[in-house]
Structure 1
């Protein structure tokens, strides 16, 4: 304060005026900044307004979906995506994120195939109502307000969804369909492929056995019975069942015993785990553990009233390859999107091939050849007596003494399973009723 003692009155007043001017300027700047922030918040609030789906028309379409099912608990959503992730759960998440639907309940959704845990799909088809690019108020030149947009003017459904979906799921194509079309009930046939390595399997015997599946048969001995579904008809119609070589650019240099082949199976509909049970028995035929006629015998319910106790083949190599619809005349594949999708799968294939070659190198580097001369034959005797039974997908089981299917214990019949299920349900209902009374 000493520096102001010698100031005149005029100097003091002038200094106070400068201080007041400076303070006012700071307040103006602060006020301006505050107003700007408030304006930004208002704009942000405007941008966050809910998307109004009612401004747009709805369009019924079919979508062709490809997915690797290895990390999912099946295709169909089960209500708990955190603990039980499914392909369908990912699809609905993407559809809602892209504002193509409001939710599952309002889009009249149906699926073609309900693939199980670990099973992949290349030709899975879903049908639902989605948002169109056309506004709800649009009227055409002839006064008709019901016309859909031409396909090339519509939203890019495939590309839009693929930008949101995880790496192991991709949309392949879409098609406009009639309002009443249902993916499950209007599908004419479904085609599965099951990949496996030739190894020492007798493919000729397997083909002879596979041919016996063709036609309409009772497949209760080639499926897993589910008494909760109360199924009464186990007849299914198989249109084609053949074994074919697999063609892949990554498989050209493999040896004959590691040649990859696949079973192609086309039918109108399938039972729970039917394909995996069919493959399990075909593997037994290919190993010459069962004759090809075992297929005909198991299809004869008078001879086998219930399924012999045998394990299912692995889910890893099973693919829902195609779903055929007479009502879908043309699928639309957008060229840029198709190129991107093909490059995406090729990149994943390359990465998986590197992993496979790495495992091959590890197998070759175990030093097994050098150890063969040092191994005492007596130490191998126990293992040599065990029979390796192929289950597909690189999986197998050891059996000390192979027992023919005819000599194995039988699973419960359909009637027995349903009776046990009903008895358990009655007991559970009684306990629930007792709890409510107390």
Structure 2
């Protein structure tokens, strides 16, 4: 009798707990007894009935809970996204980025820290392009590690709300085959090197290049001037006749909210189906910012003027000996100007070198800046530029270092027929983001200037020779330490390779003797 009583009391307390935790499970058909005195009044048979009744309710409440939990866990599987049911159109996207925190623009196999990787991932994640299908992607420029851009442009086929499925405005199979034939013909006739004009997304990833150029480094880029007649010109009439815009997907807003804040899409445009950002870019313009310090800008301008024209720039670029290259390029404009005068300290005046051409070689802008800095520091005469352009005077490229990549920016890309579309809300969003980045950098600059002012006030730096220490910033990568060796007197790549080969032979002979 005592055991039955204790079991009844324990079950009653457990049932009360369940009733408080889940009131819908409580049934009024099972009256609760308030205390032990009430239980004492029951007979043995009454206690047994009470225990059995409470056990039934406890089991039913546990079953209801498990059933509800299992019902909550059942989630309908996501329906796969079908691009076959979507329209598509060919567009160009214009965006800016700060490259100082990235390993360059182009995708690489060894790192995901590239601009192109973030852009493509955003396009795929937002279902604007398929995962593994050819979207006929092309880029106007390929910037190096640390280099920024103000007007980078890419072109691709992208999902649309307005273009009907299967309309002629999208990329057709015949157009794809025609482009592929052009690429194949160029590849077969010129050493078997592949083009990046019309490649599938799965073919983006290229081998890691620690020394990539501001422009595309493939062999076909070198042959663009030879085979330009085989590149079809876009038919802009189809844009004028069939170019719906109202109600289109907000490409800029979607991409800006799915990429890092230092990658900013600010314009888009409908383009013809045979338009490629790479081959239909009419010019590229780069700017290189630097402090005036003790540089002689007049000597630099005199030297820079000698770069204009169609020349062989073999001695102003990185040379890849593993394949044939064409070094002729036409530079249209160069300019060196003071863009922000500092009246208190002329050495802190901000200057800018601007160069405009249809295309550039590997690291061409940075090598040119290195030579111009040497002239501005009066370590070289301005005519050194003419000597480097004359292969009869300097037939092999001397060994000299490039200028830093951080002050370089792809400032303009030429697409005269493209009618860019902007979104005011997107521009406001980007301005707020840009202001925040500017504030962060301004704070760092102000703190650095405060430290410099303090050190200047307690130091004895007065002579121009001492002030030349200011040149150790942007110029630190231009020349190695020690006494300056004139460029014409330096070893060439050929001589360096011969010396390395000679050392290797000596090493192998010594190892064989051992």
Q: Does 1:87 align with 2:115?
A: yes
Where do 1:27-426 residues align within 5 Å?
A: 27=62, 29-30=64-65, 32-38=67-73, 41-43=74-76, 46-47=77-78, 49-82=79-112, 85-103=113-131, 105-134=133-162, 150-231=244-325, 233-246=326-339, 255-328=345-418, 330-366=419-455, 368-372=456-460, 393=474, 395=476, 397=479, 399-412=481-494
- Structure 1: which 5+ runs fail to align? 140-145, 422-438
Distance 2:336 2:128 in 1: 41
3-state SS of the aligned residue for 2:315?
Answer: helix
Distance 2:458 2:338 in 1: 34
Q: Report the RMSD for the aligned CA atoms in angstroms.
A: 3.5
Rg larger in 1 or in 2? 2
Cα shift readout 1:212-236 (whole Å, capped 9, x = no counterpart):
11111100011110123421x2000
- TM-superposed CA distance for 1:287, in Å, is 1.5
- TM-superposed CA distance for 1:183, in Å, is 1.4
Tell me the equivalent position of 2:20: none
Greater shift after overlay, 293-302 or 397-406?
A: 397-406
Counterpart contact for 1:212–1:295, Cα < 8 Å:
yes
User: Cα distance 1:91–1:229, how it changes in 2: closer, same or farther (>3 A)?
Assistant: farther
- TM-superposed CA distance for 1:404, in Å, is 2.2
Distance 2:284 2:460 in 1: 48
User: Cα distance 1:288–1:160, how it changes in 2: closer, same or farther (>3 A)?
Assistant: same
User: Cα distance 1:398–1:253, how it changes in 2: closer, same or farther (>3 A)?
Assistant: same
Cα shift readout 1:305-329 (whole Å, capped 9, x = no counterpart):
112222111111010111112342x
Counterpart contact for 1:315–1:393, Cα < 8 Å:
no
Counterpart contact for 2:88–2:165, Cα < 8 Å:
no
User: Cα distance 1:391–1:176, how it changes in 2: closer, same or farther (>3 A)?
Assistant: farther
The structure carrying a bigger strand percent of its residues is 1
- TM-superposed CA distance for 1:135, in Å, is 7.5
Distance 2:481 2:163 in 1: 66
User: Cα distance 1:389–1:307, how it changes in 2: closer, same or farther (>3 A)?
Assistant: farther
Greater shift after overlay, 70-79 or 13-22?
A: 13-22
Distance 2:323 2:448 in 1: 42
- TM-superposed CA distance for 1:278, in Å, is 0.5
3-state SS of the aligned residue for 1:150?
Answer: coil
User: Cα distance 1:203–1:253, how it changes in 2: closer, same or farther (>3 A)?
Assistant: closer
Counterpart contact for 2:285–2:356, Cα < 8 Å:
yes
Cα shift readout 1:9-46 (whole Å, capped 9, x = no counterpart):
773575357426623651563255135314xx223xx3
Cα shift readout 1:118-170 (whole Å, capped 9, x = no counterpart):
1111111111111112475599xxxxxx9977223111111111111112211
Distance 1:59 1:179 in 2: 8
| TM, length-normalised to structure 2 | 0.69
Greater shift after overlay, 279-288 or 189-198?
A: 279-288
